[in-house]
Chain A
């Protein structure tokens, strides 16, 4: 098992005809992901290296039945593309696009929540995220798959490169990952740490979860509460941004300390208070994960 993406993934990509969209879609296909189509309004009927392009999500769903959407369109069109994919019934929407206005994200999030109340069940990952990789099964997004091996560590992160750094150190120590989920660095992510922790807790293959957080918001604090109450599996954390000054946006739109809220220190404390070990560096977080895993397998043998 793994979570969210695997051999059953049928991927359709909005923005497949753009330079970045084409590049990463083909990368995903080369990895083994089943790419069934693309959506670019006005380019229906064309194809990208044999992948059929449709004018709308509705058409794509009718013709090739994707269960996963990847959004690669520019920020000003991204919100509508996400909502169109959701309305067409795609179960999982992964939005890579960076720079979507926060108000658009609010509209998207609350629309999807309202639909959920009506029985619809689209899950949004991102925006401003690197995507999801289940090593050996499927890669949807821009995560460089070569750094990861298949295994039993679940990774959930607000940052891309930091995830690669941690995953790579885990791989070098001889361990692999069940799934790597980038939830993105924006203020209103479609899925939070808690949503993904819930999936990893239920996933048979995942034995340990590495959570990589950063300054801004309170998603890490909420994760700490959830872990204490609902997780039987060990969680190891890393938090970036201890030296970030208040009021300054550190690259990601969501990475900002507001007044005294959202600091890295408060997040690390909240996690540690619930028994989650927090690495001081990405390397240390990976080493703790390896230590816990090593201990677990020794105990089992």
Chain B
């Protein structure tokens, strides 16, 4: 779960990291009030979960109220790479002497937390890592021991932080590690971590991802994330407990098991089609989950054909067939379906479907055959005999 900049900063502040005073607002009038509170000059920053806000004109400095009104009005409602700006963060502008970089993330390969620090902040850190790797300090932490103060001081000093702020950077690293650890984050990044002319070390930006599986122990974080900009179908799926990702194509996909569904998307695109979604109905799919899944897939108006690809292990194909028959009775889909049932009770499942003689439902035996059929159907072509 990715947080907006200001949500991340609020988490930072809770753990003692220095951030500028600011307020999230959703209209110009509130922006004016917020700016008066934090004091001019202020920065108006678009709150969206996408990089390149500055280049898109979503970050502006305002010296007074008239500039603020102009920028807030321009940025609110702005579209940044498909994300609509609904909230702007108004923050007192900081004077900057240096821009550093700091992050803590889960290194899946080392299976340890990784602390990174660089004095080359404010730029794309992947580029720093690639072109001047010696300028990026990487330090793995034993998660059972945590980040010690001695380690943090060494990271700051070896990374080349100005001598007089080594202590301040170490404090920031320790606080950032605490955010990562105590909030169950998978990523906590500050770019840039600035040094002010007064030699204060401050987080000027934030990028935080929290582990959705750990939200049960952080009830206060459950309402975070960019729910306003979330795809409405993905939000609905989340509420219904369905693993669903919206994609750009026109072929609805229903399968069981994350790996098999990913594979189904690949096979459909190899056949020249474009999947409209990822949907994993889960290992123990029953008739009701199938009905719910069909409903969700068809709620996407772009869908022109649907592929149901089931390899039943724990799931039983006869249950899936009954679910489909029930779903068809209730929903009466107007688009064609291709159904491939394989595995436990597949013959029984296929028999049930055949007897139900559902309109516009086609049976396939292999994944490749199913993919070719659904691609043809989505393109408005006809395929062999119905199921």
Contacts and interface: CB of A to CB of B under 8 A. Distances in A.
B259 interface: yes
Interface residues of A, number: 64
Contacts of A251: 243, 257-259, 261-262, 278, 280
Interface residues of B, number: 52
A215 B262 contact: yes
A290 B29 CA distance: 69
A250 B247 CA distance: 11
Dominant secondary structure of chain B at its interface with chain A: mixed
A102 interface: yes
Contacts of B243: 251
A76 to B, nearest CB: 6
B209 to A, nearest CB: 9
Interface stretch (A2-10, A35-43, A85-93, A280-288): A280-288
Interface string A194-207: 00000000000000
Contact of A240 (B2, B111, B263): B263
Given A102-B184, A106-B112, A244 B265 contact: yes
A260 B126 CA distance: 10
Given A114-B144, A244-B265, A250-B261, A164 B311 contact: yes
B260 A250 contact: no
B328 to A, nearest CB: 24
B32 interface: no
A21 interface: no
Interface string B296-322: 000000000000000111100000000
Contacts of B280: 251
B344 interface: yes
A242 B259 CA distance: 11
14 contacts: A76-B216, A99-B213, A100-B213, A109-B111, A110-B112, A159-B257, A160-B257, A161-B255, A161-B313, A165-B367, A187-B108, A219-B108, A251-B243, A281-B368
Interface of A: 75-76, 99-104, 106-107, 109-111, 114, 130, 142-144, 146-147, 157-165, 168, 185, 187-188, 212, 214-219, 222, 238, 240-245, 247-255, 259-260, 264, 280-283
